[in-house]
Amino acid sequence: MLANRGDNDPGLVGAHLVEHGHELTLAIREESESWPDVRNFDLVVHLGSEWSVYAEDVRDPIRRERDLACRTVDAGIPVLGICFGAQLLAAALGGSVARGPRTELGWLPIEPCDDALEPGPWFQWHGDVFEPPSDARVLAVSDVGCQAFALGSALALQFHPEVTPDIVGRWAATDPVPLEQAGLDAATLVAITSAEQARVRPATARLVDEFLYGDVPTRGTR
């Protein structure tokens, strides 16, 4: 799993993978010199980040992560991108990323394009949006932009299926400005996240299982 230093909790996604016998290995974005060889893994997960894919101050680590994503997909290894990870996959595989018209923050529904994904609500916290690659299969949208696509061995999710109350609480504490701008209260958002766990935990498990063992994504198109 690729993540930033200090923000590397895979939450419900990681817990489900461990329950099914997977051993998780963490690779820190800021320490690319120590990344293990991707060929030794049967799944790569790019977690979210406060970074923007187009940010100049982190251009070099983002370029290295994009290159790794391309190599992983070309090798046919399953790749799951979440929020920033989805945006990075879009940019790496031929799409684009830009600032969105507004921030999507909170528990919000998505509009599935077929039966591959559930409508949610899913947790959102992002200001950037992505245009998927032209040859990707779009799986879900919202009025702000694409919410999910599949291409080759990659699945990109703009929303956060992994979140727990602890994760949302940490994000709210370290980055309170978007909450204030959205008129949201951190304690209320954490309470809603707690209430959603009974529903979202099995929904996340189904999503991960469909990705790894079912029909999401459509493989072999890249």
d(CA 221, CA 218): 7
User: Is residue 219 a part of any domain in this protein?
Assistant: no
User: Is residue 52 a part of any domain in this protein?
Assistant: yes
> Could you report the per-residue pLDDT of 162-192, keeping only the tens digit for each?
999 999 999 999 999 989 988 899 999 999 9
CATH of the domain at 97: 3.40.50.880
Q: Collapse the DSSP code of 204 into the 3-class scheme (helix H, G, I; strand E, B; otherwise coil) and give the result.
A: helix
186: burial class by Cβ within 10 Å (0-12, 13-18, 19+)? Answer: middle
Question: Nearest to residue 96, comparing CAs of 6, 156, 179?
Answer: 156
State the average pLDDT over residues 61-84. Answer: 96
Helices 84-92 and 59-74, axial angle in degrees (round to 10): 70
pLDDT at site 18: 95
The pLDDT of residue 222 is above 50: no
User: Is residue 218 a part of any domain in this protein?
Assistant: no
User: Is residue 221 a part of any domain in this protein?
Assistant: no
**Structural domain range at position 120:** 2-213
End-to-end Cα, the chain, rounded Å: 22
> Could you report the per-residue pLDDT of 5-47, keeping only the tens digit for each?
999 999 999 999 999 999 999 999 999 888 988 888 999 999 9
User: Is residue 48 a part of any domain in this protein?
Assistant: yes
pLDDT at site 115: 81
Q: Collapse the DSSP code of 102 into the 3-class scheme (helix H, G, I; strand E, B; otherwise coil) and give the result.
A: strand
User: Is residue 99 a part of any domain in this protein?
Assistant: yes
User: Is residue 117 a part of any domain in this protein?
Assistant: yes
Give the pLDDT band (50/70/90) at residue 221: very low
d(CA 59, CA 109): 32
Give the pLDDT band (50/70/90) at residue 122: very high
The number of folded domains in the chain is 1
User: Is residue 222 a part of any domain in this protein?
Assistant: no
Catalytic residues: 83, 160, 162
Question: Nearest to residue 84, comparing CAs of 143, 125, 37?
Answer: 125
Question: Considering the entire predicted model, what is its pTM?
Answer: 0.94
